[in-house]
Amino acid sequence: MTDINRQWVVAQPSRSEGMCLEPEVFGVKENPVPGLEEGQILIRNKLFVCEPLVHAMVKGVPGRIDPLPVGTVFKGHAGGVVVSSLHPDFAEGDEVHGTLDWADFVISDGLDAGGAPLSRLTPGYSLTTNMITLGMTGLCAYIGVLEIGKPKLGDNVVVSAAAGGIGSIALQIAKLLGCRTIGIAGGPEKCELLREELGADEAIDYKNGDLVSGLASAAPKGIDVMFDNVGGSVLDAVLVNLAPFGRVAMCGGISGYDNPEMVVRNTTLLTQHNGMIQGFWYSDYEQVFSDARDRLGGWLQSGELKELVDVSQGFEKVPESARGIFAGSNAGKQLVQIS
């Protein structure tokens, strides 16, 4: 085992207007692999998950998240294997995940960086599946579709960023429920993936052509449910095409994270459509996690649900991969494999 621990640290404050961090904000620090004290474990990270939240943690969100000071190690969803343990509840070889330092090695006393117990693996599923389909990604998709959108058989369901991590699962769940699915994504390759791999009935490239008329032809009777990851002009185009009593499950608004000028203009159309937008924060729906994991796992095992991941190889790929989600360079959930 190497005795050097590489850590991604905040090298300088971010000066960008939007959330996406500049490449210079990412720096590497090398330290000796830390020694263990009684009650601790040493985790060797295998995977980092790239999410907009990592950028928010570094930049801070006024009133909610204090920015990570310069020199601090990046933190994000990471998973790995216990390589040595002085903790009675963990053995060498156990795989765990949680909010952890983005480093080769992390010391833990059984809790993650947010103070939550490290997550163990649901038997029968890989570390990746535990972290993605049975983790926040799958849970967001499940909650947004089933708890918020609640589509009925045959409803027109639109998913934005449908070729992304959460979107790809949301789209497939809607299809499994017997809905007519319309995925929105950037570029012809992603649209083909939506149709050919994920079974979308329609796929619309929001970067090419008029999205309002594209949605009108894809759903002439209107959109019953939208699962929104994007906000801004994409949400606006859906609001124009909302069916009576249509609903938007707002999972996120990535088009606004890197563009503070982003606005949604058409919310007044909700009045005439008797429409509704409801946001959700997945961790506030803990009561459905167990059922959600059972159903998501069942769909995976029966082959009805595909786990779409985009894996970059190598520790050094962190800045490029973490930034890439703002440019749409990922198809599926963006991961970085470390070891």
Ligand X SMILES: NC(=O)c1ccc[n+]([C@@H]2O[C@H](COP(=O)([O-])OP(=O)(O)OC[C@H]3O[C@@H](n4cnc5c(N)ncnc54)[C@H](OP(=O)(O)O)[C@@H]3O)[C@@H](O)[C@H]2O)c1
List interacting residues with ligand X (CB under 6 A).
51-52, 136-137, 140, 161, 163-167, 185-186, 190, 229-230, 234, 251-255, 280-282, 325-326, 328, 330, 333-334
**Least distance from ligand X to the Cβ atom of residue 144, Å:** 7
Q: Which is closer to ligand X, CB of 87 or CB of 333? A: 333
Q: Which is closer to ligand X, CB of 149 or CB of 165? A: 165
**Least distance from ligand X to the Cβ atom of residue 166, Å:** 4
Residue nearest ligand X, CB atom distance: 164
What are phi and psi for residue 298, nearest 5 degrees? -60, -45
Going from the C-alpha of 333 to that of each of 154, 206, 311, 313, 318, the distances in angstroms are: 28, 20, 8, 14, 14
Q: Which is closer to ligand X, CB of 5 or CB of 255? A: 255
Instruction: Locate the DSSP E strands across the chain.
Output: 4-10, 26-32, 41-49, 75-85, 95-101, 105-108, 119-120, 156-159, 180-185, 202-205, 223-228, 242-250, 276-279, 309-313, 333-337
Judging by beta carbons within 10 Å of its beta carbon (0-12, 13-18, 19+), is residue 5 exposed, middle or buried? buried
Q: Are 156 and 223 in contact (CB under 8 A)?
A: yes
Helix, strand or coil, per DSSP, at residue 29? strand
**Least distance from ligand X to the Cβ atom of residue 56, Å:** 8
Q: Are 168 and 145 in contact (CB under 8 A)?
A: no
CA distance 140 to 161: 13
**Least distance from ligand X to the Cβ atom of residue 307, Å:** 12
Q: How many CB atoms lie within 10 A of CB 64?
A: 7
C-alpha torsion angle, residues 39, 42, 45, 46 (rounded to 10): -100
**Least distance from ligand X to the Cβ atom of residue 115, Å:** 19
Going from the C-alpha of 269 to that of each of 60, 149, 217, 240, 330, the distances in angstroms are: 33, 18, 19, 7, 33
Q: Which is closer to ligand X, CB of 167 or CB of 222? A: 167
**Least distance from ligand X to the Cβ atom of residue 221, Å:** 25
**Least distance from ligand X to the Cβ atom of residue 258, Å:** 7
Residue 213, C-beta contacts closer than 8 angstroms, at least 6 positions apart: none
Q: Which is closer to ligand X, CB of 9 or CB of 49? A: 49
Q: Which is closer to ligand X, CB of 9 or CB of 140? A: 140
Q: Which is closer to ligand X, CB of 3 or CB of 284? A: 284
**Least distance from ligand X to the Cβ atom of residue 25, Å:** 19
Q: Which is closer to ligand X, CB of 41 or CB of 325? A: 325
At 22, which helix (H) or strand (E)? none
Q: Which residues pair with 337 in a beta bridge?
A: 47, 313
